[in-house]
């Protein structure tokens, strides 16, 4: 990863960051649990916190001073970023992390308590047995050490660890904030709009969508399908939704996810059109909503969820799943007119 800090503006003004920033004057806690499904944003968030703690400009995370740059280059001695590959942590690897946490701080600065920062991403992927090694360190924390633990899922972390951490939920970001971040990454307008609409308030997800070559096409395919499919004879011509990807289940799932999001937005639009942001996406939703009632959209979402479940099962037949899904959507359209 580059020295640049992704989503710096959005993260700096996030509630989560400001919560932790409050602790700088009070003294950092021993352990924080950062909860978010957005892996990429958490990685950036961790780097931002480290910059803020070590920044030469009074915790401002200026991203320009020597200390900030050292953090961003991953060579600030007292700051350790672990499990950036986001995999289950093996026992010996966890032991090595904890060994690092017991080393005395190297950098001594005037008017500042020496500090070691340990960041561990996606702890929830790790087995309970290995998590227990970490628990011991949290029970008797080495002096001057703060642990920042990332998890996509609160339930994936041992209760005993959670009870020793301050819980911080990373924000769900507004469409406008995400749009700004995508623009600063030079994402073209139309792509950015689609990414924002499908990102569920997650910066990393939005960026991934914006960078995906297929996503735009998948999105258009779904709009076309939901708008134009009116009668059962249409199914024959439209049920090739999974064909473009050689049945790669991840990409097929992407199509179903886009479908869920569009149908959810149709329900929102039917209840209160002003809740959706004006722009090209709202125009698409309007087109789809012309042939769906709110109840029809709701039942169609259930059909999509059902298709997702089937797609996950081993040895499934994507074509049969697509046929049955389109049939169920049509049925919902007619039954809940
Ligand atoms: Zn700085």
CA of 46 to the centre of ligand 1 (A): 15
CA of 53 to the centre of ligand 1 (A): 9
CA of 2 to the centre of ligand 1 (A): 17
- Please provide the average confidence, as pLDDT, over all residues in the chain: 93
CA of 187 to the centre of ligand 1 (A): 28
Residue 35 tokens, joined:
């909860």
CA of 118 to the centre of ligand 1 (A): 19
Does the pLDDT of residue 3 top 70, yes or no?
no
CA of 69 to the centre of ligand 1 (A): 7
pLDDT at 246: 60
Residue 37 tokens, joined:
């499904």
CA of 226 to the centre of ligand 1 (A): 50
For CA atoms 288, 292, 293, 295, give the dihedral sign. negative
Does the pLDDT of residue 1 top 50, yes or no?
no
CA of 333 to the centre of ligand 1 (A): 56
CA of 38 to the centre of ligand 1 (A): 25
Boundaries of every domain in the chain: 8-169, 212-335
23-82 pLDDT per residue, tens = 988 889 999 999 999 999 999 999 999 999 999 998 899 999 999 999 999 999 999 999
Task: Give all strands of the β-sheet with 145-151 in edge-to-edge order.
Answer: 79-82, 116-120, 145-151, 31-35, 166-169
**Which residue do the tokens 């996406």 mark?**
281
CA of 165 to the centre of ligand 1 (A): 27
CA of 58 to the centre of ligand 1 (A): 8
For 8-169, CATH number out of 3.40.50.300, 3.40.640.10, 3.60.15.10, 3.90.550.10 equals 3.40.50.300
102-141 pLDDT per residue, tens = 999 999 888 778 889 999 999 999 999 999 999 999 999 8
CA of 100 to the centre of ligand 1 (A): 24
Q: What is the DSSP string of 253-320?
A: HHHHHHHHHHHHHHHHHHH-GGGSPSSHHHHHHHHHHTT--HHHHHHHHHHHHHHHHHHHSTT--HHH
C-beta neighbour count of 78 within 10 angstroms: 23
CA of 175 to the centre of ligand 1 (A): 28
Euclidean distance between CA atoms 203 and 179, whole angstroms: 9
CA of 137 to the centre of ligand 1 (A): 30
CA of 71 to the centre of ligand 1 (A): 9
pLDDT at 228: 92
CA of 59 to the centre of ligand 1 (A): 7
Euclidean distance between CA atoms 54 and 62, whole angstroms: 10
141-196 pLDDT per residue, tens = 888 999 999 999 999 999 999 999 999 999 999 999 999 999 999 999 989 999 99
CA of 70 to the centre of ligand 1 (A): 9
Q: Which class does domain 212-335 fall in?
A: mainly alpha
70-106 pLDDT per residue, tens = 999 999 999 999 999 999 999 999 999 999 999 999 9
The half-sphere exposure of 305 on its side-chain side, counting CA atoms within 13 A, is 8
CA of 3 to the centre of ligand 1 (A): 13
């Amino acid at each position: 990863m580059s020295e640049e800090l992704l989503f710096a503006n959005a993260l700096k003004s996030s509630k989560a960051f400001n919560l932790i920033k409050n602790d700088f004057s009070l003294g950092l806690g021993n352990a924080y649990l950062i909860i978010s499904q957005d892996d990429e944003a958490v990685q950036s968030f961790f780097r931002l916190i480290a910059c803020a703690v070590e920044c030469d400009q009074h915790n401002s995370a200026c991203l320009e001073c020597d200390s900030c740059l050292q953090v961003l280059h991953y060579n600030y001695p007292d700051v350790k970023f672990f499990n950036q590959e986001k995999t289950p942590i093996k026992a010996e690897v966890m032991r090595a992390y904890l060994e690092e946490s017991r080393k005395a701080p190297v950098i001594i600065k005037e008017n500042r308590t020496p500090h070691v920062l340990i960041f561990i991403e996606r702890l929830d992927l790790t087995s309970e047995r290995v998590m227990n090694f970490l628990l011991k360190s949290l029970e008797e924390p080495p002096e001057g050490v703060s642990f920042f633990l990332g998890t996509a899922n609160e339930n994936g972390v041992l209760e005993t660890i959670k009870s020793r951490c301050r819980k911080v939920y990373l924000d769900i970001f507004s469409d406008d904030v995400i749009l700004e971040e995508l623009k600063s990454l030079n994402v073209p307008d139309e792509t950015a709009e689609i990414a924002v609409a499908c990102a569920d308030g997650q910066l990393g997800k939005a960026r991934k969508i914006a960078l995906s070559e297929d996503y735009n096409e998948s999105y258009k395919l779904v709009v076309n399908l939901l708008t134009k499919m009116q009668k059962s004879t249409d199914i024959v011509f439209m049920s090739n939704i999974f064909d473009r990807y050689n049945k790669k289940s991840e990409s097929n799932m992407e199509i179903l996810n886009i479908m869920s999001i569009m149908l959810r937005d149709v329900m929102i639009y039917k209840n209160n059109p002003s809740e959706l942001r004006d722009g090209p996406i709202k125009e698409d939703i309007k087109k789809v909503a012309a042939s769906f009632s709110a109840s029809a959209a709701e039942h169609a979402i259930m059909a999509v969820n059902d298709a997702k479940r089937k797609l996950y099962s081993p040895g499934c037949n994507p074509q049969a799943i697509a046929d049955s899904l389109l049939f169920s959507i049509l049925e919902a359209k007619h039954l809940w007119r």
